[in-house]
Amino acid sequence: MNPTLATTTPSSFYSTNISGKDPKAVAGQFESMFYRMMFEQMRMEEDPLMEGSDGKQVQAMFHDEMANLLGSKGELGIADLVMQDMERRGGLVKG
């Protein structure tokens, strides 16, 4: 298993102290994390156009930015589910 993926799990997300932070932003970051993990798995396949460390680094930076952009949009609905769960668990979200 990839050590990066092992350190970024939903349980570690919930154990993080999020008091005082914008719940919507936290939920969006969680969705971004999902995209980031998905892109990382996609990068494991060899791409002849991205051979060499420079190409892989550029591809990783591109995927990181895409994950942040897509996560902030909340298109998959993961952020909404996280907000609902935070509200259910402790009333962190009010509307």
Q: Which of residues 20 and 83 earns the better pLDDT score? A: 83
Condensed to tens digits (0 to 9), the pLDDT of residues 32-44 reads: 999 999 988 887 7
Condensed to tens digits (0 to 9), the pLDDT of residues 6-54 reads: 444 444 444 455 556 778 888 888 899 999 999 888 877 766 666 677 8
Cα–Cα separations (whole angstroms), residue 20 to 17, 28, 32, 62, 76: 9, 16, 20, 30, 25
* Close Cβ partners of 66 (under 8 Å, ≥ 6 residues apart): 35, 39
* Amino acid at the residue 25: A
Cα 36 vs. chain centroid, distance in angstroms?
5
* Amino acid at the residue 91: G
Please report the pLDDT score of residue 48 as a whole number: 67
Q: Which of residues 93 and 57 earns the better pLDDT score? A: 57
Please report the pLDDT score of residue 32 as a whole number: 92
Q: What CA–CA distance (Å, rounded) separates 88 from 4?
A: 29
Q: Which of residues 21 and 76 earns the better pLDDT score? A: 76
